[in-house]
Structure 1
Amino acid sequence: MSKSGYQTRRSAVHLLDKVMGDGRLMSDVIQAGALQKLDPADRARAQRLATETLRSLERADRLLQKHLKKTPAMTVQNVLRLATVELCQGGAAHGVINDAVEIVSKGKRTAGMKGLVNAVLRKVADKGQEDWDKLRVPRLPKWLRKPLAQAYCNEVMLEIEAAHFAGAPLDLTAKGDAAALAEAVGGRLLPSGSVRLQDAGQVTALPGFTQGQWWVQDAAAALPAKVLKAQPGEKVLDLCAAPGGKTMQIAAAGAHVTAVDDNPARMERLRENLKRVQLQAKVVVGDVMAQEGQYDAILLDAPCSATGTIRRHPDLPFAKDGSEFGDLIGMQEVFLDHAIGLLKPGGRLVFCTCSLLPDEGEVQVEEAVARWADITVDRDAVLIDGVDPAWITEEGGLRLRPDYWAAQGGMDGFYMAMLRKGA
């Protein structure tokens, strides 16, 4: 048994316990230092194992039900889930089962379950892989599936869930020539100009990372800045900017950008990203509502439910329960009104959220136009490269879904609209 493999799997179980037991997002647990004792390669593997387990949780539980008379304690259940997913995805049974048994045996409250874990996993190893592909694509938890089913038909919901289960490739935004970057990293140039890699490996080892030639950014997340079309010399405000993908796009266009966010740790990442790619921006750690001045253009990536990012963050449906929806929707309205007030006459604002919920997108824009007599929606602005006109919504915004570009690997769910202020 590999000591490294054991430590990696134990750390992955710890991540699962924090998500399933404490309702914490995996990114928050990692940021708090949960994986700091692992080397970078093992840290990445632990995160990947936990992510794959969460993505496949329904299938793992359905297989385990056949071999369990009752649900075991959470940590034991998560050990079984992790091992089941590994076994059914082709993991070597000897190493997977031995590590699972050792993880359980090391816990004072779980040591008595090592025999059960060994027996169950040997049964899973025997026939689990054969049964795995017969199970349905995992569905979202009911608290999230219900509002999304109201927004989209059942057929679309199944396609979205299939996209979530498939996971996400890695997308890059080029600082310069995207076609040259695609050739350098062995990726595919998407219609929108992003570069996609299906199996990227270690990100920091990719060509051009050290030289600051690109940054990681989902193709959908790269579109709001493309819609904004910042011009050289313009005074641009990027609100809720961390970790800085859109800030870097705006800076690369030659605009004078001020990036604002109230999260110090995430803003430190933004500074590090700017330094690596050798771009300039004014970085402000502060409250959106405290910002003053007048700007030619504003990008507001408002705090939201993040329901559009589940293909990359499958922990979200298990760490949250939807209780924050109302507060988020109210915050978006307040932020949007304040941002509109910071626009110069004739200025433009892109409002966007990485949400699949119309209340956090289409409805916000409809209501903002009703509140502000001098604000209009520029539906032509969202007709950029890679956008299907069918994605443009009734009020003139752009609705993106995880099942779009399915053959190329999908995209995050996103909403964006260009608002223009009268002169």
Structure 2
Amino acid sequence: MNDRNDIGLPARAAALDILAAALARRSGLDEALSAPGFNALPLRDRAFARALAMATLRRLGPIDRALDGRLAKEPPEAVRHILRLGVAQAFLMETPAFAAVATSVDLAAGRRDSRPFKGLVNAVLRNLLREPPDLAAADSLAPDWLMARWRAAYGEDEAQAIAATIAQEPATDLSLRDPSTAAHWAEALEGEILPGGGVRTTRRGDVAAWPGFETGAWWVQDASAAVAARLLEPAPGQHILDLCAAPGGKTLQLAAAGAEVTALDRSAQRLKRLTENLKRTGLAARTLAADGTAWRGGPFDGVLLDAPCASTGTFRRHPDVLWAARPGDIAALAATQARLLAAAAEQVAPHGRLVYCVCSLEPEEGEAQIEAFLRARPDFALEPAVPGEGGAPDASLRPDGTLRILPHHRPGGTDGFYIARMVRQG
């Protein structure tokens, strides 16, 4: 996005708020983007602020590396954020150099905590403009501890390929209420048909204004996320439980296939969005706010567990997850996943299916979970996926028939997922 003369400090101040919230806490990015103050800005200001914050987050590692080489000591956090945004404007947003510097200095001057450092902001950014930094190095696009984990899990080449997708702005994937209409919606939305029957479009702007939104013909759902529900092979009349269902993309898939769906999530607030999407699409499901480890209501013909996880596979749309995640999070989340898996198993009818998935790249949350579960539950066995099943990339199929979808497995990128399908023995 090019800088415009009529996009001024309010938009940049909003980008600063978004960046600060995203790096301060999990879910901070979503909270900032839904804040009343942000949504009160003119549409063009909101679009610029979001684009600037996201560009900064996608290249945060290289930006910080460049700044570290030019800072004698660490400035206050707000100053670091202003510098980050200045670098992103100058080198990623095609903002004229003078505007990138001047607006960053003005932004610093407008805040009490950063005002004494406006000279520093000016000097650092001008120095970088004289000696442009390398913001493309893949090995600095993710935190060092995550890169080390990915190298250990997948090898150097795969780790570098994963990291290289961090900087890419993603297209938008859509799941369709009626998959037979894929050709129509691919044409209407200037997109392409994805394996499995969804549509991918590079269209930008307010999704709610796109053709087909108001009539509920489709919903936004990453292509990888859509694979899990397809592996359950839902059919009309089947009783299916969607555990940890919000925000609801998989619930909509299951309902569109004609299944009788119970969608359960512990967050009543998150279920509101699911309910809204059910209404918009004209689909039906029973929704329940409850703890998935304690609730009982089976048996079900199929259970889908999209477990809470570190979400490191979702960095294409949520680059903040890479910087909000902490090494200790993974062990804590793995314990929760194990409890949910044990509870989900109790809900599956004999000969019924259980599909487990996580949008995480961390083996403890995927492969290790299923290995431990199958040791503890000999009444369950893997039902291997076949190549291309559910629209999964061929490269994601593991020897045991589970799926490890990596972000570079699909041209243009995709969310990272682990998916396992199991059957309960009679």
Q: What corresponds to 1:316 in structure 2?
A: 321
- SS in structure 2 at match of 1:288: coil
Q: Which residue of 2 aligns with 1:266?
A: 270
Change (3 A) 1:55 1:108: same
Pairwise mapping of residues 182-193 of structure 1 onto structure 2 (< 5 A)?
182-193=186-197
Query: 1:332, 1:382 → 2: CA distance?
Result: 27
| 1:34, distance to aligned residue in structure 2 (A) | 6.2
| 2:153 aligned residue | 151
Gaps of 5+ in 1: none
Task: Supply the distance in 2 between the matched residues of 1:40 and 1:257 (Cα, whole angstroms).
Answer: 37
In the TM superposition, residue 97 of structure 1 has moved relative to its aligned partner by: 2.8
Larger mean CA deviation between 167-176 and 194-203 belongs to 194-203
2:407 matched residue in structure 1: 402
Q: Provide the rounded CA distance (Å) in 1 between the counterparts of 2:136 and 2:369.
A: 41
Q: Is the 8 A contact 1:88 1:132 kept in 2?
A: no
Q: Check 1:377–1:22 CA distance in 2 against 1; reply closer, same or farther (3 A cut).
A: closer
Per the alignment, residue 301 of structure 1 pairs with 306
Distance (Å, rounded) in 1 between the aligned partners of 2:302 and 2:29 = 34
Amino acid at match of 1:208: G
Q: How does 1:309-388 map to 2 (within 5 A)?
A: 309-380=314-385, 383-388=388-393
- Please state whether the residue corresponding to 1:181 is helix, strand or coil: helix
Output the CA distance in 2 between the equivalents of 1:266 and 1:359: 26
Amino acid paired to 1:378: E
Identity of aligned residues (%): 38
1:233 deviation in Å?
Answer: 1.1
- RMSD over aligned CA atoms reads 2.2
Q: 1:234 aligns with which of 226, 231, 238?
A: 238
Does residue 1:73 correspond to 2:56, yes or no?
no
- Residue 59 of structure 1 is matched in structure 2 by 62
Distance in 2, Cα, partners of 1:220 & 1:41:
31
Task: Tell me how far 1:110 sits from its aligned partner.
Answer: 1.5
Which residue pairs with 2:46 in the alignment? 43
The 8 Å contact of residues 59 and 141 in structure 2, kept in 1 or not, is answered as no
Aligned pairs for 1:175-214 (under 5 A) are: 175-176=177-178, 177-214=181-218
**Cα separation, 2, equivalents of 1:153 and 1:357:** 13
SS in 2 for 1:415: strand
User: Does the Cα contact within 8 Å between 2:393 and 2:409 map onto a contact in 1?
Assistant: no
| Cα distance change of structure 1 residues 193 and 137 upon mapping to structure 2, 3 Å threshold | farther
State the shift of 1:331 in Å: 1.1
CA distance in 1, matches of 2:307, 2:136: 40
Q: Secondary structure in 1 aligned to 2:240?
A: strand
8 Å CA contact 1:67, 1:120 repeated in 2: yes
Aligned length in residues = 419
TM-score (norm 2): 0.92
Task: Provide the rounded CA distance (Å) in 2 between the counterparts of 1:160 and 1:11.
Answer: 30
Checking the alignment, whether the CA contact within 8 Å between 2:139 and 2:147 is kept in structure 1 is no
**By how many angstroms is 1:202 displaced?**
2.4
Maintained 8 Å contact 1:137/1:165: no
Cα deviations by residue, 1:125-167 (Å, 9 ceiling, x for unpaired): 4553xx4467555332123222222111011100000011223
Report the AA paired with residue 162 of structure 1: A
> How high is the TM-score relative to the length of structure 1?
0.92
Gaps of 5+ in 2: none
- Give the Cα separation in 2 of the matches to 1:225 and 1:46: 35
Q: CA deviation at 1:63?
A: 3.1
Aligned pairs for 1:280-291 within 5 A:
280-289=284-293, 290-291=295-296
Q: Could you say which residue in structure 2 is the equivalent of 1:87?
A: 90
* Offset, 1:386: 3.5
- Describe how 1:5-24 pairs up with structure 2 within 5 A: 5-21=8-24
Counterparts of 2:297 and 2:115 in 1: how far apart (Å)? 59
TM-superposed CA distance for 1:7, in Å, is 1.3
Deviation at 1:199, TM superposition (A): 4.0
- Pairwise mapping of residues 107-256 of structure 1 onto structure 2 (< 5 A)? 107-128=111-132, 131-132=133-134, 135=137, 138-176=140-178, 177-256=181-260
SS in 2 for 1:164: coil
Counterpart Cα distance in 2 of 1:327 and 1:413: 20
Once residues 291 and 45 of structure 1 are traced to their aligned partners in structure 2, the CA distance between those partners, rounded to angstroms, is 47
Q: Which amino acid aligns with 2:175?
A: T
- The Cα of 1:4 is off from its aligned counterpart by 4.7
* 1:362 and 1:395 in contact (8 A); partners too: no
Q: Quick one: distance in 2 between partners of 1:93 and 1:107?
A: 22
Higher mean displacement: 191-200 or 46-55: 191-200
Q: 1:136 to 1:173 in 2, by over 3 A?
A: closer
Which one-letter code corresponds to 1:247 in the other structure? T
Taking a change above 3 Å as real, the CA distance of residues 21 and 216 of structure 1, as seen in their structure-2 partners, is: closer
Which whole-Å CA distance do the structure 1 matches of 2:125 and 2:378 have between them? 64
Distance 1:134 1:337 in 2: 43
Cα 1:9–1:300 change in 2 (3 A) is: same
Question: Does structure 1 residue 27 correspond to structure 2 residue 49?
Answer: no
Q: Deviations over 1:178-233 (max 9, x none)?
A: 22111110001122322112242321221111111111111101100111111011
Provide the rounded CA distance (Å) in 1 between the counterparts of 2:257 and 2:116.
Answer: 61
Cα distance in structure 1, aligned partners of 2:210 and 2:381: 43
Select between 187-196 and 349-358 the one with higher mean Cα deviation. 187-196
Report if the CA contact (8 A) 1:87-1:124 is conserved. no
